[in-house]
Structure 1
Amino acid sequence: MFSQSHIDPGEVASVTIGTTHFVNAVVEMDRSRLARVAVIRLCGPFSADIPVGVDWPPKLRRIICAHRSLVDGGLEIDGSLIAELDEDAIRRECEIIKSKGIKSIVVVGIFSPIDVHFKQEERTKEVIREVYPEADVVLSKEVANIGFLERENAAILNASILAFARRTIHSFQDAVSRLNLRCPVFVTQNDGTILPASSAARLPIRTFSSGPTNSMRGAAFLTQHLDREKIMVVDIGGTTTDVGLLLENGFPRQAAAYSEICGVRTNFSYPDVRSIGLGGGSIVAKGKDGKLTIGPESVGYQIQEKALVFGGTVPTATDYTVLGNKELDIGDRSKLESTQLRADLADFQANVKSMLERIVDTMKTSPEDIPVVLVGGGAVIAPKTLVGASRVIMPDWSGVANAIGAATARVSGVVDSIESTESQTVSQVIATLSERAIERAVENGATRESISIAEVESFPLQYVANQSRIIIKAVGDFDFSRTDFECLTTIDGDTHDFDASRAGHEEQINSDAHDKEDPTEGSLSLTQNEIDEYKPHVIDRQWYLSETDLDWITTGCYILGTGGGGSPYQHMLRLREMLRAGATVRIISPWDLKDEDLVACGGGKGSPQVSIEKPYGDEMMESQRELYQYLKIKPHAVIPLEIGGGNGLQGLIIGASTNMDIPSVALSRCSNTIDTVAESIINEVGGSDSAKILFKGKIVGVERITKMGHAYGEVVIEASTSGDKGTDAVERLRIPFKNENILAKKTRAGGNEEVSLNIDCRLNILAIVPDLVCVIDAQNGEAIGTQEYRYGLLVIVLGITASEKWTCTPRGIEVGGPKGFGMNDLEYRPLGKFQKPRSVIDEFNRVADSGRIDGTLHAGGP
C-alpha cells in the first residue's frame, strides 16, 4: 500500500484493523487457538445441576469447558449477600485448576453486574492472582450484563481466545512498528466503534462479527450525502452475502434479546446480520434435474486462478456477470464464449435476483420498499433493480466499504453505574452520567465536539427502593492530533510475554480425553421436511418425551406466559440433561386419570427478573420429597402449577401432565419465514377467529418497579405511519404488566403529544385479560418476557383468546379480568372465539404391539 500510494508513514495518525481471526478460531473449533477454561462460580447452593457449557455444541464444549468450581458467594436481586465469599475455597480450587494445567479462568457471580459494594468478582481475581499469578482471569461482569448463563457463556468464549488474541494483536503491532508507523493501533468491535489494541486484547469477544459491521459503517459513510433513513446494506464478498439493516443514526440494527455465537447463547450487543452462500466466487453448476445452482461452494480467494474469465476451469458467478455486462473490465471476456454459458445466462441472473430479494425481504421490518446499498468486491454480480427495494445504490468505492468502515469507525465511551434516584430524577442522573461517558470517550481518543450519546439504558433494581442501573454509551470521531496512546499491549496493567509458549500449546493437555464420541453430537436444528414428518412418540395414550418435543414445548410455554413466569430456558436445559442421562418422561392426559388418583403440583412464585440471573438449585425437588415423606403418600401424577413460563416446564421436571407441542417457530426458522411466524402461531391456536396480530414495531420505552414480589411496569412499542398533511405521526402500543402483560392499548403521538385514536378510550384497547397478550421477538420468533424488554428490540404482539374456563362464568371474568387487576372502569371484551387446542396424545396415539404400558408418571419424572 505504501509503495503504491507514496504516503509518508509519519503522516499516518492511526491504524485500525478489522479482523475475523478471533471469531474464526471459535467457528473452526481450532484447538491450537482455543484455551481450555475453568469456571469459578460464586453461587452458594444455586446452579449445582447446571454443567458449564450445558447448552453448547458438544464438540466446542469438549475443547473449551474443562473445569467447574462452585464456591460460596453471590448476591440476591436486592444487592444483599447470598453468602460471604469463601476465599479459602477459591484458593483450594485454584490449586486444582493449576494441577490440570488450565491457565484461563472465568469468575462469574450471581447478580455480579449490580455488585458495587462487595465486589466479589474483583476480590476473587485478587485471590487467584495470589495463588496462580500466571493465569488469565476474566470477570463476567466486564463482558456482558444480567443473564447468568448467557453472561457466563460470553465470558468463557472470551477467556478461551485471550492468549491467542494477545499473540495476534502483538503481531499487528509488530508489523506496524516494522513499517516505522508511530501511531496507535485500534481494533474494530461489533457495534461500529473501535477499541484500543490493549482493550481488544482483554475483550477480544467484542470484535466478533465486526466484519459485517465495518461494511455497514462504510456504507453509511459512502451514502452520507443522501437523506438519512433506514437502508438495507447488502455486502457481497467472494463466498457469502451479508445483509443488515442500517438505522438512521448510521449504526447497524442490533440482534435479538439473545444472540448465538457459533451455537453458544450470549446476551451482549451483536449486529443483526444474516448471510447466504452467494458471492463473486460462487460456483455455478447444473444439477441432475437440470436446474442451475449458485453456491454455496466457492473458489474464494483463488478466483483469479480458477474462474473461467481468468483462464481457469470453474464456472463462477463472476464469469456469468462479466458475460452479461459488457461494461465490466474484468479478466479476458474472450474466454467466456461458451454456448452453454450463454444459454444459462438468463437463468443465472434470475436466480441471483431471487436470492437477493428473499434475503432482503427477510431482513425488512415492514412491507414498504427500502433503499438497498450494494457494497463489497462481489457487488457487481447484483442486478440494478430488486423487488422490495425503493432503489438500488452502488456508490463509488463500494468495493472497499469494509476498509472505509474500519478507517472511519468512531470512538466510544461507556459508563455502567448503579445510582440512587431518591433525591434526583432518573433524567437528572442520566444527564450526569452522560457527561461522564463523554469524558470517557475523550479519554479513549474522541474529539469532544463530535461526541453524541448513542445509547441509554435504565434498569430499576428489583426489590430495592430508588436504585437504578444505568448504562450510557457516547460516541465521537477519532482525534487525529492525539499522540499519547500506548503502543504496548497490556492486560490488567501487566505487559505480557508474547512468546508462543504463552498460549497455544498448553491447551493440548489432556485433549485426547475430550475426543470421545458424544451421543449428543448431532444438532437439534431440523429441516423443514423433518419437521413436517415428525411425529411425537405416543403409545397407548402415553407420550414419551423427546428432545425435539421438549424444545417445542419450551417455546410454547414462554409464548403462553404472556411476558411472565420467567424464562423456561434453564428448566429446559435441566430436563434435557435428565433425558440425555437416560431418564424417561411419560406424559398422560388428565382425562385418563382415575377418580381416586392423587395429582400433585409444584412451581415457583415471584418476579421473573430473579430467574434469569439466579439459576435454580434443588429447592423444588427437595420440597416435593419432604412433602411426600411428611404426608406418607406418593402421587400418581404431577401437573404444572401453570402453563406459562418456567413453571410450565417445572412440572415436567418433577413429573408433569401437559398437552402442548408448538413446532411453528422451529418450522419458520428453518424455512426462512420468520416474518410470518406470528401467522403460524395463530394457526396453531385456532386460526384468525381465535387470535390476531395486534401490533408490529420497536420497543422505545420500558418502565419497571417491583412491589410485593411482582414486577410492575409498562412497555411502549412504536411503529411509524404516515400522518395527515405530510407530517409524520407515530402509532404506539402500550402494554402495562404485572409480571404478565395485562392489556394492549393503541395510541398515536405527534410532536410532544400522545393521544387516543378514538374518543372512547376503551376502544383503543386491542386486547385485555383474561385474553392473552404475547410479545414475541420479530427476529427469531421466540417469546420475550417482561424482564427482557429493552429499547430497540423489534417485536410482534399477539392477542390470543382466553380459555372458556375463564370466560364462561361471571366469576371467572371477575377474578381474571380487568377488575381483578384493579381496573374497575374497564370491561372485558373477548378478542375472538376460543378454540380448544388439539391434544398431542389424541392426535398421535397408537396401540402397542403387546401389552399395555403402565400409565402412571411418578414424581421425579423417570
Structure 2
Amino acid sequence: MAIQRVYRIGVDVGGTNTDCVILHPGEADQPDRGIRTAFKTPTTPNVTEGIAKAVQGAISQCGISLAAVSAVMIGTTHFINAVVQADDRNLRKVAVFRVCGPYTQENPAFMDFPPILARIMNGHVAYLDGGLEFDTREIMPLDEAQIRRECQAVKAKGITDVAVVGVFSPLDLAGKQEARVKQIILEEIPGADVVLSREIGQLGYLERENATILNTSILKFARKTIRGFKRAMRSLGLSCPLYLTQNDGTIIDADSAEKCPIKTFSSGPTNSMSGAAYLAGLDTAKGRIPNAQVIVADVGGTTTDVCALLPSGFPRQAGTWVEIGGVRSAFPMPEVLSIALGGGTKVEERDGKVAVGPESVGHRLITEALVFGGNTLTTTDVVVASGHADIGDVSKVKDVPKELITKARYQMKRLLENAVDAMKLSADDAVLILVGGGSIVHMDDLEGVGQIIRPPFHDCANAVGAAIAKISGQVDVVKVLEGLDEDKVVEEVCAEAKKIAIDAGADPESIKIVTIENMPLQYVQMRATRLIIRAAGVLSQQALLHHTPSESTEELDESSETPDVVSKTLNSEKDPRDFLVSPSASVDIRDYKPEVDKNGTWWVSEIDCEFLATGCSILACGGGGPGYMCYMAARAAIKAGHRLPIVDIETLPEDGYVLGSISYGAPTVTLERIPSGTESVDATDALLSCHPGVKMAAQIAIEIGGMNGIRPLLVGKDYNVPTIDGDYMGRAYPRLYIMTPYLFGIALTPCTQADGNGNVVTVHKAADFRKLEKIHRKAGHELGLFSQMVIPPMTIKDVKRVGTLGTTSLAWYIGRAVYLARQEKTDIMKAIVTNPSGRVLYTGKIVSVHRYISAAGYTEGTVRLKPISSEEQEYGDAATTMTETRDMILPFQNEYLYAELVAPDAEKGSRGEILCTVPDLISLVGTDGYALGTQDLRYGVRVSVVAFVAHPHWYTPQGITTGGPKEFGYDGLDFIPLGSPYYEPKRVTEEFRPR
C-alpha cells in the first residue's frame, strides 16, 4: 500500500533561531491542531545548512516517513538582508525599460535610492513608447524598432538583468505591452533575466518600479539560494514540492519564487500572525470570534511585533508603500507595529522613575539576566519575581525591591496596551493572541482587550504559519462604472481573482474572497472606481500529487553555486552617508543656510526642496494631492544641473506678466501616470497664444498646499524665469474658483489644460466659475484624469494686489522647523507654530473616521479625536499636551473645514465649541511632523491639530463667502476665526540675503 503524502513541513528562518514544525492538515480539528513536532535550532551563517539541520531534527524527532511529506514551506528574510546591507557581491546592475510614452521623465529612475544602492544597481534607463491610460486605452503603441535599439545599447554594456515598467500595467490583465517588450528583449539578449512590473506590485508607478528594480537586481542571488534549498531537500531524501512564504501570508512555489524573490522579503512577521490565528483556532467554527477585532502580538527577545488580523485570518496590509533598505517600494506587506518590549528588555531606575527599554540584552538573555546569574535586570526577571514564571534561579531576584517590580510591571502593561490600541480600528475591546518565546512578559489584564489567548506551540507560531499558508490571487483594476451595475462589476473582478488563485494551485472548493477594496476616484465627473480584490484558498492536494521536480533543480551545477551567506559586518565597511535618502540628514540644520545672492534671488537646493515639500503638506490642510513626485522631480532637476530661483515680487517690474499652473485630476492617476514635464509647457504655450504680445516674467504657485507648491519651480526652469514667493490661495482648496484673483473679480478664462501627450483643451469663456469647473472636469476625463492647468496671465502689479505673498517662505520655515526639531529631538508641534499666526489646537488620537465620495467627486467625511491621556504622554509632551477632556471633530471635503470640541457623551447632532473654520487653515500633523491627508486617516494614529490664520484676503466679505463654511454646504454655520492676528511670513530672500 502506497504511503500517503499528508504531512507538511514549515520552516521559519529568524535572526536568532530557525524553527521547524511538522503538521498534518487533516488533523486540524485535534487539540494540537495536527502539529506532530516542533524543533528549534540556532540560525547558521549559511542559511541553507541551518534549514537542513532544522528539517532533519524535526523529522528525526517525529519519526515520520520522508515519503509521507507532501510539501515543505520556508519563510526567510535572507534576500532582504542583501538589499539592506548593500551587498554588491549579490546585487547586480539593472537596465530599466520604462514603457511610458511621453510620461515619467520628470522623475528619473533610481532618483530616490540611497546613493550606494543607486551606484550598484543603476545600469541603464530607457524611455519607450507605450503605456496605458487609467481605462486601459493605449497612451501610445509600442515601437518595436525602438525597443531593439535600446536592447543593443544594454547588451553593449554587458547587462543581462532588465526591469520592464509600464504605466498602468497592473490594469493590463493580459499583460500585452510588458509581455511583448519582454519577448523582444529575449530575442535581442538571449538568456537575459527580464522582470515585469505588473507581476511585482500594484498601482503607484515609482514604488512599483523601485520594487521591480530590487527584484531584478537580486534575481540571480535568489536563484542560487533557492536552488540551495532544493539541494538541501534532495540531500535529506525529500522529493516533495518546495514553497516559500510571501509577505502577504500566502505561499509561492520555489520556481516562481526564483523569479519574484521580493515577494518573500518580509514573510517572517506574516508567518507569525497567520500561525497565531491557526493555533488559536480562529479558522474553526468553535474558535471563530464573530464581530471582534483580533490583534496578534509576537513577543521575541528584543521586540514585539503587533498586527491586526482580518476576518479571513490574514494580516491587515500596510498602506500604499513600504521602505526596503531605504527604497520606497510597493508590494503587499503586513501592517506591523514593532515596539521595544521583549523577554530581554532592560529594566532600569532613572531619577526615581522606572524605565522599561528600549535597550535589550537580546540573545544574551541566558547569560545576562539576573535569574541566569547575570547582572542585568530584565523583563524576564520581573516576570519571575512576580511569580508568573518558573525560569532560572528565583533566588537571584528575591532582593529586587517590590516597588520597582510593581512599577516595571505597570510599564510593561502600558507598552502592550498602547501597541494594541495603535493597531485597532475602533475603540471596542479586542481579542489579543500572544505568541513568541517572549510572550511571558504579559502578566496583567490589558485595558481595551476583552480576551487574551496564548495558544499551544505559541513559541513556534512562525513555522506553523509557513506550514498552513494558503495560495492567493489578486486583481488591482480601475473600472469605469457609467451605465454598469457596480455589484456585477465587483462580482466579475472577484471571479478573476479566484481564477488567478486556482491557476497558482489553490483548491477551487476552498477559495474565498478575503479582501475587497472599492475606492471611487476623486475629482471625477463620471463614475469610476479602483478595485483591489484578493482571493485565497488552501493548497490543492492535486497540485501536490502532480508535482514533478523542476528541470532547474535536477540540472544544478553545484560547483557554480556560491554559499548563500550575507556578511553581517558589510555596513561597517561603508560610509553611513551612502545609505541616506534624506538630503537634510547629512547636515547640521542649525548651520544650514539657503543660497541667496546679493540681488535677493534664492537658489533652491535639494535640502530646500525637502523643507518645502514638508511645509507644503501642512499648508495643504488635508488636500493638495500627493507631493512626493513634485519634490523628487525638483531634486532631479537640481541634480541634472538646473537652477531653480525664487524671488520676492518687489524685485520684479510691475508691467511684467505672471503665469502659474496647477495639477488637475484624480490622485489615483497622479500616482501612476507621472508627468513628462511638458504638460505645463504645452498648456502655457497654448494660453499665451490667446494673449499675443504677453511675455512671461515669472511663475507663481496657484496653491501652496501639497504638490502644487513646488510645481512652478519646475515650469520656471523651462522658460528661464523665476518663481515668485507666494501663491493664490495661501493653502489648498478643492475647487478651481476658490482662489484670491476671483475675490477681486479677475477673470479665470481663457483657462487651459494639457495632458503632455499633445492634447490641449482651452475654455475661452464660461457662463460662471462653476460651469468652468464642470467643463474642465469633463474634458479631464478624455485627457486621462491628470493634466496641468494654467490660468490667464496677470501683471506683477495685479499679483501684488491679489496674491497671498510670502507663502513659499512660510512653507520653507515650517518644513525647516520640523526637520530641526526631529534632529534636535525637541517639540515638533511647538516648532511648527513658531509663526505667531499659528496655534496647536489639540493633541489626541484618531478614534473614528467616516468618509465617502460625493456626487461632485470630492472626498467628504469626518474624523473624531480623543485627548491623549497622561499615561499615554511621551517624553517631551509637556509643552503641547492639553488638559482638554473633550473630543474634537473635524469635517472635511478633501480639506479640513472646521475644528469642533464636543463632550464625549454629547448627543449626535448637537453643536459643541467650534474653535475655527475655513478659510483659516486646519491641518492634522503626525508625531513625525508629516501632515496627514484626508486619505491617510485611520484609527489609533496620534496627531496634533494645527491651525493658522488665513491671509487677510480671505477675511473680506467676498473671501468668507467664497472660501467659508457656506461654500461647503454648512448654511447654518458662520465663519469663526482662529482669533490670532495675521503676521506676514518672513521672507527667505530677505533673511538670508548677504548684507
TM-score class normalised by the smaller sequence: 0.7 to 0.9
CA separation of 1:188/1:584 partners in 2, compared to 1, >3 Å: closer, same or farther? same
CA separation of 1:87/1:841 partners in 2, compared to 1, >3 Å: closer, same or farther? same
Distance in 1, matches of 2:525 and 2:182, equals: 27
Moved more, 391-400 or 58-67: 391-400
Deviations 1:252-305 (A, max 9, x none): 2322333222221123332221324544455778999999785646453x6557
Residue matched to 1:429: 489
CA separation of 1:537/1:17 partners in 2, compared to 1, >3 Å: closer, same or farther? same
1:455, distance to aligned residue in structure 2 (A): 1.4
Residue matched to 1:662: 814
The one of 632, 636, 658 aligned to 1:573: 632
1:12, distance to aligned residue in structure 2 (A): 3.2
CA separation of 1:174/1:502 partners in 2, compared to 1, >3 Å: closer, same or farther? closer
Tell me if structure 1 keeps the 8 A contact 2:231–2:553. no
1:476 aligns with 2:625: no
Structure 2 letter corresponding to 1:151: R
Residue matched to 2:465: 405
1:639 aligns with 2:700: yes
1:828, distance to aligned residue in structure 2 (A): 5.7
Tell me if structure 2 keeps the 8 A contact 1:217–1:250. yes
Structure 1 letter corresponding to 2:814: I
Tell me if structure 2 keeps the 8 A contact 1:694–1:766. no
1:586, distance to aligned residue in structure 2 (A): 5.7
Other structure's SS at 2:320 match: coil
Structure 1 letter corresponding to 2:978: K
The one of 249, 253, 263 aligned to 1:192: 249
Tell me if structure 2 keeps the 8 A contact 1:588–1:841. no
1:431, distance to aligned residue in structure 2 (A): 1.9
Residue matched to 2:154: 97
Other structure's SS at 1:18 match: strand
Tell me if structure 1 keeps the 8 A contact 2:100–2:128. yes
1:808 aligns with 2:955: yes
Other structure's SS at 2:307 match: strand
CA separation of 1:712/1:778 partners in 2, compared to 1, >3 Å: closer, same or farther? farther
1:377, distance to aligned residue in structure 2 (A): 1.4
1:457, distance to aligned residue in structure 2 (A): 3.1
Deviations 1:137-160 (A, max 9, x none): 111122222221111111112222
Tell me if structure 2 keeps the 8 A contact 1:602–1:620. no
Tell me if structure 2 keeps the 8 A contact 1:757–1:764. no
Moved more, 770-779 or 215-224: 770-779
Residue matched to 2:4: none
Tell me if structure 2 keeps the 8 A contact 1:716–1:732. no
Other structure's SS at 2:710 match: helix
Tell me if structure 2 keeps the 8 A contact 1:699–1:790. no
Other structure's SS at 2:140 match: coil
CA separation of 1:669/1:782 partners in 2, compared to 1, >3 Å: closer, same or farther? farther
CA separation of 1:31/1:78 partners in 2, compared to 1, >3 Å: closer, same or farther? same
Other structure's SS at 2:148 match: helix
- Percent identical pairs in the alignment equals 35
1:648 aligns with 2:691: no
Moved more, 536-545 or 187-196: 536-545
1:54 aligns with 2:111: yes
Matches within 5 A, 1:72-83: 72-83=129-140
How many residues matched?
A: 801
Distance in 1, matches of 2:584 and 2:347, equals: 27
Other structure's SS at 2:251 match: strand
Residue matched to 2:455: 395
Residue matched to 2:299: 236
Distance in 2, matches of 1:47 and 1:321, equals: 56
Tell me if structure 1 keeps the 8 A contact 2:424–2:940. no
Tell me if structure 2 keeps the 8 A contact 1:237–1:376. yes
The one of 431, 435, 441 aligned to 1:375: 435
Tell me if structure 2 keeps the 8 A contact 1:245–1:253. yes
1:253 aligns with 2:400: no
If the length of structure 1 is used for normalisation, what is the TM-score?
0.76
CA separation of 1:557/1:218 partners in 2, compared to 1, >3 Å: closer, same or farther? same
The one of 24, 31, 34 aligned to 2:81: 24
Tell me if structure 1 keeps the 8 A contact 2:584–2:610. no
Moved more, 655-664 or 134-143: 655-664
Distance in 2, matches of 1:87 and 1:645, equals: 39
Tell me if structure 2 keeps the 8 A contact 1:282–1:295. yes
Distance in 2, matches of 1:469 and 1:162, equals: 31
Distance in 2, matches of 1:545 and 1:276, equals: 38
Residue matched to 1:486: 547
Residue matched to 2:199: 142
Other structure's SS at 1:606 match: strand
Matches within 5 A, 1:263-278: 263-278=326-341
Distance in 2, matches of 1:793 and 1:436, equals: 34
Tell me if structure 1 keeps the 8 A contact 2:130–2:140. yes
CA separation of 1:116/1:401 partners in 2, compared to 1, >3 Å: closer, same or farther? closer
1:473, distance to aligned residue in structure 2 (A): 1.2
Moved more, 805-814 or 641-650: 805-814
Other structure's SS at 1:455 match: strand
Residue matched to 1:176: 233
Tell me if structure 2 keeps the 8 A contact 1:236–1:378. yes
Residue matched to 1:524: 582
Moved more, 764-773 or 557-566: 764-773
1:572, distance to aligned residue in structure 2 (A): 0.8
Tell me if structure 2 keeps the 8 A contact 1:189–1:208. yes
1:611, distance to aligned residue in structure 2 (A): 2.7
1:736, distance to aligned residue in structure 2 (A): 8.3
CA separation of 1:544/1:19 partners in 2, compared to 1, >3 Å: closer, same or farther? same
1:4 aligns with 2:156: no
Tell me if structure 1 keeps the 8 A contact 2:276–2:435. yes
Distance in 2, matches of 1:127 and 1:519, equals: 39
Other structure's SS at 1:380 match: helix
1:799, distance to aligned residue in structure 2 (A): 9.3
Moved more, 268-277 or 681-690: 681-690
Deviations 1:158-191 (A, max 9, x none): 2222222223333333333444445433322222
Deviations 1:49-69 (A, max 9, x none): 433211122222222222211
Moved more, 60-69 or 455-464: 455-464
Residue matched to 1:603: 661
Distance in 2, matches of 1:288 and 1:581, equals: 53
1:15, distance to aligned residue in structure 2 (A): 2.4
Residue matched to 1:697: 848
The one of 672, 692, 696 aligned to 1:613: 672
Tell me if structure 2 keeps the 8 A contact 1:163–1:502. no
Deviations 1:474-494 (A, max 9, x none): 22344557534535458xxx8
Tell me if structure 2 keeps the 8 A contact 1:41–1:108. yes
Other structure's SS at 1:14 match: strand
Tell me if structure 1 keeps the 8 A contact 2:380–2:441. no
1:835, distance to aligned residue in structure 2 (A): 4.6
If the length of structure 2 is used for normalisation, what is the TM-score?
0.67
Structure 2 letter corresponding to 1:396: P
Structure 2 letter corresponding to 1:697: S
Tell me if structure 1 keeps the 8 A contact 2:344–2:361. yes
Residue matched to 2:224: 167
Structure 2 letter corresponding to 1:221: Y
Tell me if structure 1 keeps the 8 A contact 2:918–2:975. no
Residue matched to 1:557: 616
Distance in 1, matches of 2:490 and 2:188, equals: 41
Tell me if structure 2 keeps the 8 A contact 1:13–1:481. no
Tell me if structure 1 keeps the 8 A contact 2:69–2:238. yes
Distance in 1, matches of 2:423 and 2:584, equals: 22
CA separation of 1:679/1:266 partners in 2, compared to 1, >3 Å: closer, same or farther? farther
Tell me if structure 1 keeps the 8 A contact 2:845–2:941. no
CA separation of 1:79/1:252 partners in 2, compared to 1, >3 Å: closer, same or farther? closer
Other structure's SS at 1:113 match: helix
CA separation of 1:360/1:717 partners in 2, compared to 1, >3 Å: closer, same or farther? same
Distance in 2, matches of 1:732 and 1:482, equals: 55
Residue matched to 1:726: none
Tell me if structure 1 keeps the 8 A contact 2:914–2:976. no
Other structure's SS at 2:162 match: strand
